[in-house]
Amino acid sequence: MKLNLKIWRQKGPNDKGSMVSYPIENIDGDMSFLEMLDILNDQLVEKGDDPVAFDHDCREGICGMCSLYINGEAHGPDRGITTCQLHMRKFNDGDTIYIEPWRAKAFPVIKDLMVDRSAFDRIMAAGGFVSVNTSGNTQDANAIPIPKDDADEAFNAATCIGCGACVASCVNSSAMLFVSAKVSQLALLPQGQIEAMDRVKNMVAVMDEEGFGNCSNTGACEVECPKEISLENIARMNREFLKASFVK
């Protein structure tokens, strides 16, 4: 395939940035999207140009690092996959492909296609954990019975990889889907009950401090989420928050 790439180039956080065209040839349909960018970068380095900076790590849909806005969609045109799982067979010979970073105030651009998602880390540090007594008398987790439906829902929420596509695809740059998945995975389990009230209040407070917007129920986050995290989690987080506001 012969393609015309239009890529966002930005030297640093304070640079204005612009779209730059890169024609590329001999792209195989079986290549992943990131392999295609690797080829472009090899060619740029050979010419003595600055390669395009983009985030990636596992390249198998687990780490949540690869985060590109491709032709106006977070993680590209497919559903239920990350950018690293996207294959070039989804595109046609002669296509123009627009590649941009996540755009949200709370995710400032570091360089080119890389953004700073440490706001998510700070939300997690505010409550995305359980405190466990590790004195040696810790109860075996398997000895605590959990209804199958709750275990399944907690597991589904726990599949969130923290990629930020929900924020990038939301008109309000809301992080509600991410935060609600993290609140839900613990709220559904007995192990998460002790700190449940503080957790939801603290995580929501940091989410607001970091500059994410409010949820207006458009549902774009659920559509673009590579792990198909359900909007049900947002409803659960709202219930948890309300409960905590009355009790605490």
Binding site for ligand SF4 (CB under 6 A): 160-166, 177-178, 181, 225-227, 229
Size of the site for ligand FES (CB under 6 A): 13
Token digits of residue 103: 């755009």
If contact means CB under 5 to 8 A according to the sort of partner, which of ligand SF4, ligand FES, none does residue 82 touch? ligand FES
- Residue written as token pair 């390249």: 59
Distance from C-alpha of 145 to C-alpha of 148, rounded to nearest angstrom: 9
- Tell me which residue of 99, 100, 67, 98 sits closest to 81, measured CA to CA: 67
Question: Is 243 one of the binding residues for ligand FES (CB under 6 A)?
Answer: no
Whole-angstrom CA distances from 166 to 45, 90, 97 are 33, 22, 21
Total Cβ atoms within 10 A of residue 131: 8
If contact means CB under 5 to 8 A according to the sort of partner, which of ligand FES, ligand SF4, none does residue 225 touch? ligand SF4
Q: Which residues, 84 to 123, sit near ligand FES by CB under 6 A?
A: 84
Minimum distance from residue 54 beta carbon to ligand FES (Å): 10
Measured from the CB atom, is 157 or 196 closer to ligand FES? 157
Measured from the CB atom, is 71 or 159 closer to ligand SF4? 159
DSSP per position, 28-78: -TTSBHHHHHHHHHHHHHHTTPPPPP---SSSSSSS-----EETTEET-SS
Minimum distance from residue 197 beta carbon to ligand FES (Å): 33
Distance from C-alpha of 242 to C-alpha of 203, rounded to nearest angstrom: 14
Minimum distance from residue 135 beta carbon to ligand SF4 (Å): 34
Q: Which residues, 52 to 71, sit near ligand FES by CB under 6 A?
A: 56-59, 61-66
Measured from the CB atom, is 56 or 236 closer to ligand FES? 56
Measured from the CB atom, is 158 or 244 closer to ligand FES? 158
Question: Is 32 one of the binding residues for ligand FES (CB under 6 A)?
Answer: no
Q: Are strands 96-100 and 69-70 parallel, antiparallel or unpaired?
A: antiparallel
| Distance spanning both ends of the chain, measured CA to CA | 60
Q: Which residues of the shown chain bind ligand FES in the complex (CB under 6 A)?
A: 56-59, 61-66, 82-84
